[in-house]
Chains A and B, each alone.
Chain A
Amino acid sequence: MLPIIIAVLSGAIRSGTAVLFACLGEIIAERAGVVNLGTEGCMLIGALGAFAATAMTGNPFLGAFVGGLCGASLAAVHAYVAVIRRGNQLASGLAITILGLGVTSFFGRSFVATQINGMNSISIAGLSDLPILGPILFQHDALTYLAAFLAPGIWFVLYRTRWGLMLRATGERQDVVYSVGLSPTLIRCLAVICGGFLAGLGGAQLSVAYTLNWVENMTQGRGYVAVALVIFSSWSPLTAVAGSYLFGGALSLQLALQARGVGASPFLMSAIPYLVTLAVLVLVGRRRRQAMPDELRAVFERGG
């Protein structure tokens, strides 16, 4: 019983990390009042950018950084359309995802057969050898550790710094931000671009740390899962960790059970994260809705 629990939990963290990055990025953007449905596209372009840069330079860390930059660049297009031009956020986001899919399919073709040396798992002296906890928590790649540290880091910035206060104020009541002489437009743009960078890192984790491969449309909807998890986690970076690992857990649980000859439907299990999200929306709908940044409400309730 113990080995399977270890396999599921370590698998949950490995498979949940890409989603966690993207989810944290989306939280930053939505906290500033902008929904980015282009997260899926940003992840894809990040995955390809990271893979291509790793293939060319041989350095997966540089690759991951390039992946982040690619995600940020695509998100910048969304920032221009949705924030500066005040275009419909939902339409722009979807267009960004389609654009990302198209661009990466086109430029990714020459990398389909490429082999790379990706990130290895990093052992932490004294911790990785611990029974049970070692294999679950401390035998992962650098990006997986980074995601886990980023979550409390982002929480700290959002709730304990002036920067975070201004970002949240932009999402709640932009007049307040005006009144202290800052530009909500600028803050929103930066938040969206920053979110795109994180989504790009999520894609990079998939391509250069986890699978060491580039395949067309390899994110397979993980970007949309991330957007759903933002609501599930009621815009909190800390709850996002739980949500993302829950998604990863549902994915790894069914594979782990099947590998051990236990019948588990991959169809049903793949639906679990979405079912949980729906259940959360229904059960605590009212309270969660109050967690939604006020300016975001404009997107959903008064039309973008």
Chain B
Amino acid sequence: MRINSRLVVMAVMLIGSLMLAACGSPAAAPAGSKDAAAPASAVTTVGFLFVGPKDDFGYNQAAYLGSTGMEKELGSKVKVIRAENVPETEEAERVMESMIQQGAKVIFPTSYGHLDPALNVAKRHPEVTFIHQGGLKTSSNLGTYFGNIFEEVYLGGVTAGKMTKTNKLGFIASFPIPQVLENINAFELGAKSVNPNATTSVVFTANWCDPGKQAEAANNLIAQGVDVLTQHQDCTKTIVEAAERKGIMSVGYHADASSLAPKGWLTGSVWNWSPLYTQEVQAVLDGKWKEGPLAGKYRVGMKEGAVKLAPFGSSVPADVQALVKQKEQDIMSGKLAPFAGPIKDQSGAVKIAAGVNPTVDQLETTDYLVEGVVGSIPR
């Protein structure tokens, strides 16, 4: 009896872990059988790993759309295999190994935490090229890329600053890390550039995706008179929907969620990875990837088309749209830089001196909130 019961427990745990594994690595299935007529040697297999589901109105949806765009662009030259919900553990190594067994020559691990597993696999497979999203470490066959999305967040702030009636904007943030602080600052700077009275109240949830906390944060900000909500969270649906239900406006992040808020959607910052993915894969196909900047830490912005503004909502009048488009042009031409000095923090201390445009390193170590942001960085 005793042994039996233990067996049952073990069986249940085994089933549980199998279930987890089944979700973690949905057998990297070939996406669409590309023309079988093409000679096998001409087709390069490209593998994509996503940390979440492909339709999360967020980070993963953006990366997924990048992979389909690249696939369309390069057509019969590539065969794409994908795996969703790949955790940032050794499980990622297993998924990458299985992709290589299926013939993958290029692998895109698209989550920050896929970096270390990718570096391990890259060491074992020098013939495979690894292209990681957002990492700060590289190796001889692993390069990283990322996009300066704060440029679009700034434009979202401009739109919000123009549209707000209460001059109170709300920002639901996740963790106080430089990337997030950069976006909060960019949003407020954009809003203040067109509306000196605009303030941005920030709430940190200390979580990437807890819908319960998101809903409560939204309730509280709305109760404070905030009439535009934006965010830096991994999953964005709860907040956009909550804003719409309460009849206020929203600025999206990661992906176009205008379908969720037909009335209150203003615009949003979205990733547009397909040109970059295409460029990366093409460089590998041409045998030129290793020589170029792609093999290092490659950073691109609006000019390169890696980040875009989501379509404007119907409530945004033409003159506001034109103003935002003008500023977009100015950023692309280099006439306007969101973080050009003088930039003061909340205490009034000058963080970036007048006339100075900060370097990438300076920006990626942001540890302050700018003047006009209401709230403080949790320590």
A11–B219 contact, CB under 8 A?
A: yes
The answer to whether the Cβ of A149 comes within 8 Å of any Cβ in the partner chain is no
CB-CB under 8 A for A101 and B205, given A92-B12, A211-B211, A256-B220: no
B:187-230 near A, CB below 8 Å = 201-207, 209-217, 219-221, 223-224, 226
The answer to whether the Cβ of B241 comes within 8 Å of any Cβ in the partner chain is yes
The answer to whether the Cβ of A102 comes within 8 Å of any Cβ in the partner chain is yes
A264–B241 contact, CB under 8 A?
A: no
Name the residue among B55, B57, B85, B216 with the largest chain A CB count within 10 angstroms: B216
| C-alpha gap A198/B5 in the complex (Å) | 27
| C-alpha gap A103/B23 in the complex (Å) | 8
B16–A261 contact, CB under 8 A?
A: no
Residues from chain A with Cβ under 8 Å of B376 in the complex = 261, 263
B204–A15 contact, CB under 8 A?
A: no
From B9, B209, B212, B260, A210 is in contact (CB under 8 Å) with B212
B202–A258 contact, CB under 8 A?
A: yes
The answer to whether the Cβ of A213 comes within 8 Å of any Cβ in the partner chain is yes
Residues from chain A with Cβ under 8 Å of B84 in the complex = 109
A211–B212 contact, CB under 8 A?
A: yes
Residues from chain B with Cβ under 8 Å of A290 in the complex = none
A:209-263 near B, CB below 8 Å = 210-213, 215-216, 218, 220, 222, 251-252, 255-256, 258-261, 263
Chain A nearest CB, measured from B174 CB (Å) = 10
Chain A residue at minimum C-beta to C-beta distance from B222: A259
Residues from chain B with Cβ under 8 Å of A103 in the complex = 19
The answer to whether the Cβ of A154 comes within 8 Å of any Cβ in the partner chain is no
- Stretch from A22-30, A64-72, A167-175, A265-273 contacting the other chain: A265-273
The answer to whether the Cβ of B8 comes within 8 Å of any Cβ in the partner chain is yes
| C-alpha gap A14/B201 in the complex (Å) | 22
Residues of B within 8 A of A (CB): 1, 4-6, 8-9, 12-13, 15-20, 22-23, 52-53, 55-57, 84-85, 170, 201-207, 209-217, 219-221, 223-224, 226, 235, 237-238, 241, 260, 374-376, 378-379
Residues of A within 8 A of B (CB): 3, 7, 11, 14-15, 18, 77, 80-81, 85-88, 91-92, 94-96, 98-99, 101-103, 105-106, 109, 112-113, 115, 206, 210-213, 215-216, 218, 220, 222, 251-252, 255-256, 258-261, 263-268, 270
Known: A210-B212, A218-B209, A263-B376. 4 other contacts (CB 8 A): A81-B5, A102-B16, A218-B212, A267-B206
Q: Give the 4 A-B CB pairs with smallest separation, nearest first.
A: A102-B19, A259-B220, A266-B206, A211-B211
